[in-house]
Amino acid sequence: MIGATTAQQAIDAALRNPAMVSAAQALAENRLHDAEPLLKARLRQNPFDVVAIRMLAELAGRIGRMQDAENLLRRAVELAPDFLTARSNLATVLHKTARSLEAIAVLDEIAVLDPDSMANANLRAAVLGRIGEYDEALAIYAEVLEKRTDHPKIWMSYGHMLKTVGRQQDSIAAYRRAIAIQPGLGEVWWSLANLKTVRFDTDDIAAMQRAIDQGKLSAEDRFHLHFALGKALEDRDDSDAAFAHYAEGNRQRRALIGYDAADTRAEVERTQAVFTPAFLASRAGQGHAAPDPIFILGMPRAGSTLIEQILASHSAIEGTMELPDIPILAARAKAAHGGIAGIDAATLAALGAEYLDRTRVQRKTSKPHFIDKLPNNWQHVGFIHLILPRAKIIDARRHPLDCGFSNFKQHFARGQGFSYALDDIGHYYADYVALMDHFDRVLPGRVHRVFHERLLDDPDAEVRAMLAHIGLDFEEACLRFHENDRAVQTASSEQVRRPINRDGVGQWRRFDRHLGPLRDALGPVLGDYPFSTAS
C-alpha cells in the first residue's frame, strides 16, 4: 500500500508529465483512441501510477467495459486509500451496474474520509433513488441545496427525483431554479419538455434560441436544447420547424455514439439460430422455478409504462422500474460459456437465483409478483425463458410510425443508441418484430402481446387478458391505475397519472412528409401492423 499522501503526489506528478496532460486532454475531448496508448505506456513505465490507473478506468467505463473499470478502480483505491476521486468513480461504476448496495458501502467509506463532500451526497441521493428510497434521497438533496443554492445540476437532479414521486409542480420549480442559475443548461430545458405536460411560452423559446446562438455550449447542452425546442414548436403546431430541431438534435447525438444497426440484426440472427425447438426441448425443466417476475418488454415509447401502472395497481403485483440486471447477466453468461448454448443446467438455475437476489433490493413489499419493465429485454426473451421458465413475459407493441417517431423526438438519459436516426429506428423495430415472431413460433403462447391501440379501445378486456396470462383474478383497481401514487421514473410518468386517453395516437401524421427513411427501413412490418392510428 502506498503512503497516505501518495494520491496528491501522483496528481501533482501527472500535472508535470506532458504525456499525462495529453491523455487528460484527449479524455476531455472524448478522443479515446489517443488517450488509451498514452495511459498504457505510462503504466508500463510506472504500474503504480494511480492517476493513470483511474484515467484508464474512466476510459474503460466510457466504452462499456465496466468490469475492467471496476477492477482498475479497486486497484487504485488499494494503492492509495485516500484517492477519493477513484473511490467516487468506483461507486459510480457500481451504481451503473445495478449494484446499489455495494455503491452505498463505498459512499459510506468516502463520507468517513470527507464528510462534507457535496459530490458524494449527490451521488448517494441518486443511488438511493435507484433502489426506491425516495424520501431519503429527497432529504439529501434538500440538505445539499441549503448549502449550495447556486448549483444548477443539483437543482436538476432534485427536479428529477420530485418528478419521479409525482410532485410535478415542485419538480418544475426546481428545474426553473436551475435555468435561472445557468440558462444554457440544455438538459434542464429538456427535462421540462420531457414532463410532456409543460408548454413553453414565447420567452422560453427565445431563451433557448439565445443559448444556442451564443455558441459557447457543450455538445450535450446543444443537442438537449434542440430536442427541447422541437417539443416547444410541436406544441405550437409548427411541424416543419419542430422537425428541423428534432433532426438536428438527433444528428448531433448520433455523431457521439457508435451504434451500428447491423450489430442488432446479427444478434437477432444468432439468437434465432440458437433457439430452435430442439434446443428448447433439451432444456425443458431447467432454470429457477420462481414465478415472481413479470417482464414487460418491447420498443421504448410503446406503452410499457402504462401497462406497468395498470398491473402495479393489482394487490398481488409490485411495480419497480426498468431494471438493468437481465442484460448484465446475459452478457456475463455468454462471455463465460462461449454463448447461450454453452450454459449448463446448474448455471441456468444459479442465474435465475442471482437475478432474484440482485432485484430484491427493488422490492419494498411482500407481494408475490414484481415487474421488470426494461424495454430492451426483448433481445433476451430466450435467456429469460431459460433461467426463469415460470416468469411471465408481456410484449408491449405500438404502431410502428407512432412508436418510431416518438423515439426520434425523445432523448434518452442512457442507452437506446438506435433512436437517433429514422432508418436506425425502423431497422430496430423490424428486428424486434422478427425476434418476437420467432419466439411465437418456437414457444407458442410464452409471450403475451398487448397492442397499445387495442388497450386504449377496450381496456377492460385487455386488462383481464393480461391478468389471466399472469394467473391472477381481475381487480377493479387496475382500471383506476391513474389513482395509484407509486413513483414512476420513465418519460411517461405524468401521462400514466391520468386516465386512459388517445393524446399520443397519430402524432406522426403531422410529420409524415419527413418520415420516408423510417417507412423504408420498416419495410413489410409497417403494412403488417393490425391497427391504424386514425384518430
Tell how strand 447-451 and strand 317-321 pair up: unpaired
Question: In which band, very low, low, confident or very high, does the pLDDT at 361 lie, cut at 50, 70 and 90?
Answer: confident
Distances (CA, A) of 465 to 204, 351, 454: 45, 30, 12
Tens digit of each residue's pLDDT (9 = 90 or more) over 482-496: 886 655 555 444 555
pLDDT of residue 1: 44
pLDDT of residue 488: 56
What cell does 34 get?
A: 489517443
Q: What is the mean pLDDT of residues 359-367?
A: 91
**What is the rounded CA–CA span in Å between residue 504 and residue 282?**
44
> Looking at beta carbons, which pairs linking 59-66 to residues 24 or more positions away fall under 8 Å?
59/27, 59/32, 59/35, 61/89, 61/92, 61/93, 61/96, 62/30, 62/32, 63/32, 66/93, 66/96, 66/97
Tens digit of each residue's pLDDT (9 = 90 or more) over 223-248: 999 999 999 999 999 999 999 999 99
Residue by residue, DSSP assigns 412-435 as -SS--GGGGSHHHHHHHHHHHHHH
pLDDT of residue 342: 96
Tens digit of each residue's pLDDT (9 = 90 or more) over 106-154: 999 998 888 888 888 888 998 998 888 889 999 999 998 988 899 999 9
Q: What is the mean pLDDT of residues 307-316?
A: 95
Q: What is the mean pLDDT of residues 287-292?
A: 97
Q: What is the mean pLDDT of residues 3-18?
A: 77
pLDDT of residue 117: 85
CATH number of the structural domain 261-528: 3.40.50.300
pLDDT of residue 487: 59
Distances (CA, A) of 485 to 201, 311, 482: 29, 13, 8
Distances (CA, A) of 82 to 13, 46, 79, 90, 462: 16, 19, 9, 13, 57
- What is residue 496's three-state secondary structure? helix
pLDDT of residue 321: 86
Q: What is the mean pLDDT of residues 443-465?
A: 96
Same fold, 1-97 and 261-528: no
The chain-wide mean pLDDT, for the chain, equals 92
Tens digit of each residue's pLDDT (9 = 90 or more) over 70-119: 999 999 999 999 899 999 999 999 988 888 889 999 999 998 888 888 88
Residue 2 has pLDDT above 60, yes or no: no
Closest to 193 (Cα-Cα) out of 148, 143, 256, 242? 242
Tens digit of each residue's pLDDT (9 = 90 or more) over 20-70: 999 999 998 888 999 999 999 999 999 999 999 999 999 999 888 889 999
The percentage of the chain sitting over the pLDDT mark of 70, rounded to a whole number, equals 95
Residue 413 has pLDDT above 60, yes or no: yes
CATH H-level, domain 1-97: superfamily = Tetratricopeptide repeat domain (1.25.40.10)
Closest to 347 (Cα-Cα) out of 281, 277, 442, 283? 283
Where exactly are the structural domains of the chain? 1-97, 261-528
Tens digit of each residue's pLDDT (9 = 90 or more) over 187-234: 999 999 999 889 999 999 999 999 999 878 899 999 999 999 999 999
Residue 306 has pLDDT above 80, yes or no: yes
What cell does 116 get?
A: 462534507
Question: Which residues sit opposite 297 in a β-bridge?
Answer: 395
Residues 6 or more apart whose Cβ sits within 8 Å of residue 87:
73, 77, 106, 109, 110, 113
Residue 4 has pLDDT above 70, yes or no: no
Torsion of Cα atoms, 174 then 178 then 183 then 189, to 10° = -50
